Amino acid sequence: MSSRALSVRADRDTAGVTHVRARTDDDAYYGAGYAQARDHLFQMDLVRRRAYGRRAEILGADAADDDALVRIVGIPQLGREAAAATKSKAPARHRHAEAWAAGV
């Protein structure tokens, strides 16, 4: 993301539903990442750790076999390859993913 000022709001209505309002798509994705992390950061961290085969770091030895399988199959490398392909083949989608991640 650039260092420019963002124009985004992520508010909840009376029912607790988050609404993201932004001037640009990039700002909206940033706000969506922020709103999701605000409510689900632990879950997101657990999913990230699973994708990298690193859940045993917080869950203990019971998760080690699953971590090993993820690493043997090569899920982290597949993720890096998918991100690189998106960057070259769908730059707008990649930019939106980067904006979302910056919001997180």
- Of 72, 27, 70, 28, the residue nearest 46 (C-alpha): 70
pLDDT in tens, 41-58: 999 999 999 999 999 999
| pTM for this prediction | 0.82
pLDDT in tens, 10-19: 999 999 999 9
Does 39 score more than 70 pLDDT? yes
Residue 1: pLDDT band (50, 70, 90) is low
The dihedral region occupied by 101, where left means phi > 0, alpha psi between -120 and 50, and beta the remainder, is alpha
pLDDT for position 24 = 94
Which DSSP state fits 5? P
